[in-house]
Homo-oligomer: A and B are copies of this chain.
Amino acid sequence: MKFTANDIARLIEGKLDGDPNVVVNKVSKIDEGEPGSVSFLANPKYTPFIYDSEASIVIVNTDFVPEKSVKPTLIKVKDAYSAFARLLEVYNNIKHSKTGISEKADIAHSASIGKDVFVGPFVSIGENTTIGENTKIYANTVIGDNVNIGDNCLVFSNVNIYSDCIIGSKVTLHAGIVIGSDGFGFAPQQDSNFKKVAQIGNVIIEDQVEIGANTTIDRATMGSTIIRKGVKLDNLIQVAHNAEIDENTVIAALTGISGSAKVGKNCMIGGQVGIVGHLQIADEVRIAAQAGVSSSIKEKGFTALGSPAIEYNNYKKSYVHFKNLQNLVDRIKVLEKKLEERGQ
């Protein structure tokens, strides 16, 4: 994709200062700007870089007045950062604007495919499954029977959606995700075998959710595992059967949410966190990376750290002493010796 300075100025409603016909096909950081790229200058700290920048176009704030000559074409806007972000979005939308259904896909006759959908090669779509308008499904993704996917979704390659799951609109699913695999439910038998408990629920993913690569979300034993509107999950996360994650909660990579745990709204959960099954986590809770939450957190806005997790500052303070435990032991020894010398 190539754009002229003129194209971009029109798109972000900016004022041109320099060659309107210069062409770019990529973006760059102001301090790494190379010919053929568009960059931006928002933070005054980076101003010195603009005088040496090789970028062909730089988006700047309207109040930017160069102190010396500048090579790139400038585009002046009210808020350079927002304008640049808008530009990236447009770029991204163009990138995912393919439509059409590959002849190499395998689509059940009973499936219903919306308008302007893209279906890549080697995609399987099962019986009675519905794909909404303008949704894009990349190569080798497998969608089971009776699945419902909304409008304007991006489903990348090699995603697996088991039967009966429901995906909202504007959902992004990155490569390798598994949605709706069986929950880890086994009933112990007397001979120390385990008998599988059939997992016949599903997964519901609401609108505007984004899920990272190779994350797994198990179907409910009965009922639904639910990821509410606006939730963002990073890569390699495990969400177990019947868990529920409420609106706009954000979870970093390699975290595990155990079965039937309920996580509140607007929580921020770090990487490699573990949450034990059946717990309740209140809204706006923050859980630091690697914490192991082993009891419910009922206080809104609570911040947790440690394994088992306790209040953040409490852990931090105790950890300072932990690092100095040798010193503490030495002091106790001195005290013991002194008392002994005094003849106890």
Chain A interface residues (CB < 8 Å from chain B): 27-29, 32, 85, 88-89, 91-92, 95, 102, 104, 106, 120-122, 124, 138-140, 142, 156-158, 160, 162-163, 172, 174-176, 178, 181-182, 184, 186-187, 192-194, 196-200, 208, 210, 212-214, 216, 218, 222-223, 230, 232, 234-236, 238, 240, 248, 250, 252-254, 256, 258, 265-266, 271-272, 274, 276, 289-290, 292, 294, 307-308, 310, 314-315, 317-319, 321-326, 328-329, 331-332, 335-336, 338-339, 342, 344
Contact = CB atoms under 8 A, between A and B. Distances in A.
A173 to B, nearest CB: 10
A193 B248 contact: yes
A331 B328 contact: no
Contact of A175 (B85, B175, B178, B271): B178
Given A176-B214, A212-B184, A326 B336 contact: no
A140 B120 CA distance: 12
25 contacts: A28-B222, A29-B223, A106-B121, A106-B139, A120-B124, A122-B122, A139-B142, A142-B175, A172-B196, A175-B178, A182-B210, A184-B234, A186-B250, A192-B266, A194-B250, A216-B235, A216-B253, A254-B274, A256-B272, A272-B292, A314-B323, A318-B322, A328-B329, A335-B336, A338-B339
A24 to B, nearest CB: 12
A120 B108 CA distance: 12
Given A106-B122, A158-B160, A232-B184, A310 B323 contact: yes
When all copies of this chain in the complex are counted, the total is 3
Contact of A253 (B95, B176, B192, B238): B238
A28 B216 CA distance: 24
Contacts of A158: 140, 142, 158, 160, 176
A187 to B, nearest CB: 8
A178 B214 contact: yes
Given A106-B102, A156-B160, A318 B326 contact: yes
A174 B178 contact: yes
Contacts of A186: 210, 232, 250
Contact of A321 (B184, B254, B319, B329): B329
A85 B178 contact: no
Contacts of A200: 27, 88, 91-92
Given A29-B223, A236-B238, A329-B321, A124 B157 contact: yes
Contacts of A85: 187, 197-198
A142 B162 contact: no
A84 to B, nearest CB: 10
A253 B184 contact: yes
A139 B163 CA distance: 13
Given A236-B236, A321-B325, 20 more contacts: A29-B222, A92-B198, A95-B163, A140-B142, A142-B157, A175-B178, A176-B214, A178-B213, A184-B232, A212-B218, A214-B214, A238-B253, A271-B274, A272-B292, A289-B292, A307-B307, A310-B323, A318-B325, A321-B329, A332-B335
